[in-house]
Amino acid sequence: MAGASSHSQEVRPAILDEVNPVDIPRQACVDNNRSFNWITEKICGIIEEKTPTWWWVCFIIACATASFTFIGLGYLVVTGVGVWGLANPVNWGWAIVNFVFWIGIGHAGTLISAILCLLRQKWRTSINRAAEAMTIFAVVCAGLFPVFHVGRVWFALYPGYLFPFPNANGIWPNFRSALLWDVFAVSTYGTVSVLFWYIGLIPDFATVRDRAKTKFRKIAYGIVAMGWRGSNRHWSNYEMLYLILAGLSTPLVLSVHTIVSFDFAISLVPGWHTTIFPPYFVAGAIFSGFGMVITLMLPLRAIYGLQDLITQYHIDCMTKIILATGTMVGYAYGMEFFIAAYGANDFEIFAFVNRAFGNYAWAYWIMISCNVISPQFFWFKSIRENTTLVWVISLFVNVGMWFERFVITVTSLSRDFLPSSWGYYSPTVVDIFTYLGTFGLFSVLFLLFLRFVPLMAMAEIKAVTPQADPHHAHTHKAGSGDYVNN
Amino acid sequence: MKTATKRQYSMVIDLHRCVGCSACDIACKRENNVQHSFAWSNHILETRGTFPNTSFRYIPTLCNHCEDAPCVAHCPTTAMHKDDNGLTMHDADKCIGCRACQQACPYGVIYFNQERPHRHYREYLKPAIAGCTSTGPEAAQAADVPIPVYNPTRATTYPGIRPQGIVEKCTFCDHRLAVGEQPACVEACPADARIFGDKKDPESPVSIALRDHASRVLKPEKGTRPNVHYIRDY
C-alpha cells in the first residue's frame, strides 16, 4: 500500500519539469464517456429486445438462399461431380476458390482475438466477438467445399481416409499430402476458434443470465455461463486461460493459410509452384478478413447505434490494416512476375503473362482493381472518415479476394503444358447456386448469433474504458461527473 | 521420395521406329476398358519450323511411373502408391476422388470419372449409321457383356471398369505382367518401337537400349525421374 500512498502525493520528478514531455492522450476506445451500465444496457438490449421485423425478413431470405447450397450439394451427391463445371484441364474450379475465399474471410477473427490480444491492442475489444463468430461461420462454409468436391463424398468423410483411425479399416492417410495437412490445419483452427470464442463469452453469458427475466433464459444462459460468478479466482483463471489460448492460436493464424497455400505451392503447376505463396496468402487472408469485418460491422453499427463503441478510431485501425495488407498483396502480385522473368522458365513466364493478358485477363484486372487500387484510397483521412465509402471499398475487397483465388486456380490450370490440353473453364448453374447459398448459410448463422449472443465483449470493453484504469481516480477529478448513462 | 524396389519396370520408346499409327492407343483402350474421352495411352503431335523447313513429331505418351511420383506424394489417402515392381499404382478402394494427383501430375495422364463410366455405350441410342451399325446397348446385348468391349482379365488387379467418382490411369498392364505378358501397347506395336523390361536387370532389353542410345524423358526439369524413356529422337 506504500506505493499507492506515495502515488497519491503526486510527487513529480524534477527531470520532467526540465524536459517538459508532451502528454499525448491515449485514443479512447469508447466515446462520450459511457458508463459500465450504459455498455451493459446497450449490448444486452440487442438480445433482450423483441425480435425486430428486419431481422425476420433477413432471416427468411437467408434461409431461402442457404437452401441453394443444400439442394446443390444433394444433387451433386446423387448425380456425380460432373454437375460442376470441373473438366480437364481445370479439375479444381470454384470448389477450391470458394474454400480458400471463406477460409481467408475467417482469418480476421483469430488475428483480432489472438495476435492483437498479445500485442495489447485495446481497440480489438469492440470487434473481436463478431469477428470470431464470423471466423467460425466462415470455416463452416469453407469446410463444405473440400468435402463435397471429391468424387466419393462418403469415403472422404469415412474415418481412416482423412482422419487417422488405422484400426478401423487398416489404412493410414498419406502424411506427405498437402490435402491432409489441410484437414489438420483447418480442423485445429476451427476447434481453437470455437474455444476462444466460447471462453470469451462466459462472463458475458453470465451477465445475460443475471439479467434474464424468464425461467427459460435463466436456465439456458445459466448452462452456457458454466457457473460464472465473477469472483477473483474466476477472473484470474479466465485471464490466464485467455492468454494461453491467445499464445496457442497465434501460430494458427499463420499456419492455416500457409497450409492452404501449400495445396497449390507443393504441386508442379506453373503459376502455383512458388515459394512466395505462404506469406502472400496469409496477407491476403487478413486483408479479406478485415474487409468482411467492416462489411458486417458498419451496418450493425448504424442499426444498433453503436457509434460510441465502434468509433472512428476503430474504423481507422481496420482500414489501415486493410491498406497495409492490400499493399503487401499488391507487392506479391508484382513479385510473381519478377520471379517468373528472373527464373527464365518459359512455362512460368507464360503462366503469368497469360494471367494478365490471356483469356482470363478480365478476372485478373478485376482482382488488381479491387485488391491493389481500391485500398489505396485509405491513405486519405477524409475517405477513412466517410463510413459509406469505407463500406463500399470493403465490398470491393471481398469481391477482389474471391477473384484472386479464381485467377490463381483457373488461369494456371486452364493452360496446361501442351496446347492440346488447353481449355476454358465455366461454372455450371449448380456451381453458382451452391456458392451463393453459402452466403445464405453464413447469414443464417450470423443472424442467429445477433439474436442470442452478445454482439460485443462487454467485459472486455469495460476493461478499456477510462474508469477501469486503477489510476483513474488520480487523474480524474472526483465528483465532476461524469459517466453518461443514457 | 526414393523408394527401393525389387524391380523397376520401365519402357523405352524408339521414336525412329514409331510410325505414328496409334495402334498402342487402341490396344490400351481395348485391354483396359478405358472409357470414352480417356486415353491412358496417348500421344503428342508436334509440327515445328516454317514451310518448307518443317518437321513433324509423333511422341507416344503414357503414365511415366515416375520414381519420385508427385501423384503419390499428393494423394491424401495413399491410394496412389509405388509397388514392389517400381510401378505407380492406384488403389481404387482407397481413392476419394479429390483429384490432387491430377493437379500434381505434370504429364496430364490421370483421368477422373465425373459420371457413371461408359455412358456413351449405355445411353446413345442412335446408331452411327442408321440401318447399318448397332447401338451400344444392342451390341452389348448381343455379346452378353456389360459393354460392347469388355476385357474381364483387367479386373484381376484393378476394377474392370472404374466407378464414378475416382481417378484412373495407366498401370503398365500390371495384370499382364503378373502372368508374364508384356503390356498391351508393347505387344500391339507393329514396328516394335516399344521396349519393356526391368531397368534394374542389366541384361534386360530396356537396359541394353538405354546403354546403347542417348535417351531423354519428358519434362526432366520437374525432377520426377520418369520411367518412360525416348531414344533416337529426330
What integer pLDDT is reported at residue A4 of this predicted model? 44
Distance CA B84, CA B61 (A): 23
List residues of chain B with CB under 8 Å from any CB of chain A: 1, 44-45, 70, 72-78, 94-100, 102-104, 106, 108, 111-116, 164-167, 219, 221-222, 224
3 state SS of A267: coil
Q: Which position has the higher pLDDT, A467 or B32?
A: B32
- Contact criterion met (CB < 8 Å) for A171 and B78: yes
Query: Is residue A215 packed enough to be buried (19+ CB in 10 Å), middle (13-18) or exposed (0-12)?
Result: exposed
The reply to whether B180 falls in a domain is yes
Q: How far is CA B137 from CA B115, B131, B140, in A?
A: 18, 15, 5
DSSP assigned state of A322: H
For residue A6, what pLDDT is reported?
46
Question: What is the C-alpha separation between A459 and A395, in angstroms, rounded?
Answer: 31
- Quick: pLDDT tens for A262-306: 999 988 888 998 899 999 999 999 999 999 999 999 999 999 999
A76, A90, A161: which to substitute to probe chain B, counting the most B Cβ within 10 Å?
Answer: A161
**Which positions in chain B touch A416 (Cβ < 8 Å)?**
108
Q: Which residues contact B115 (CB under 8 A, 6 or more apart)?
A: A79, A80, A82, B164
Task: Please give the pLDDT value at position A392.
Answer: 97
Distance set, CA A15 to CA A12, A25, A134, B82 (Å): 8, 20, 50, 76
Please check the confidence at residue A482 and state whether its pLDDT lies above 50: yes
Read off the pLDDT of each residue in B135-146 and give the average, rounded to a whole number: 77
- Could you tell me the CA-to-CA distances from A438 to A82, A110, A400, B36 in Å, in that order? 20, 21, 18, 35
Average pLDDT over residues B179-192: 95
On the question of pLDDT at B222 being above 70, the answer is yes
Is B1 a member of any domain?
no
Whether residue A172 and residue B78 make contact (CB cut-off 8 A), yes or no, is yes
> Using a CB-CB distance cutoff of 8 angstroms, which residues of chain A are in contact with residue B104?
266-268
Q: Give the three cell numbers for residue A333.
A: 502480385
- Examine residue B125 and state whether it is found in any structural domain, yes or no: yes
Q: Which grid coordinates belong to A203?
A: 462472463
For A178, nearest residue in chain B (alpha carbons): B74
Which range marks the domain in which residue B152 is found?
Answer: 9-231
Give the pLDDT score at A5. Answer: 45
Q: Are B20 and B43 in contact (CB under 8 A)?
A: yes
Give the domain CATH number at B210.
Answer: 3.30.70.20
Instruction: Identify all chain B residues contacting A417, using CB atoms and an 8 Å cutoff.
Output: 106, 108, 219
Higher pLDDT, A82 or A10: A82
Chain B nearest C-alpha distance from A43 (Å)? 45
Summarize the confidence of residues A431-438 as an average pLDDT: 95
Decide if A394 contacts A295 (C-beta within 8 A).
Answer: yes
| Mean pLDDT estimate for chain B | 90
What's the CA gap between A130 and B7, in Å, rounded? 59
Domains: count for chain B:
1
DSSP annotation string for A351-401: HHHHHHHSTTHHHHHHHHIIIIIGGGGGGSHHHHT-HHHHHHHHHHHHHHH
Residues 76-95 of A with CB under 8 A from B: 79-82, 86-89, 91-92
Average pLDDT of the residues in A228-246: 92
Chains A and B: how many Cβ contacts under 8 Å? 118
Report the run of H or E that residue B48 belongs to, with start and end.
Answer: strand B42-50
Residue A164 pLDDT: 64
User: Does B113 sit within 8 Å of A151, measured CB to CB?
Assistant: yes
Query: Is pLDDT at A171 greater than 70 in this prediction?
Result: no
pLDDT score of A481 more than 60: no
Give a yes or no: residue B2 inside a domain: no
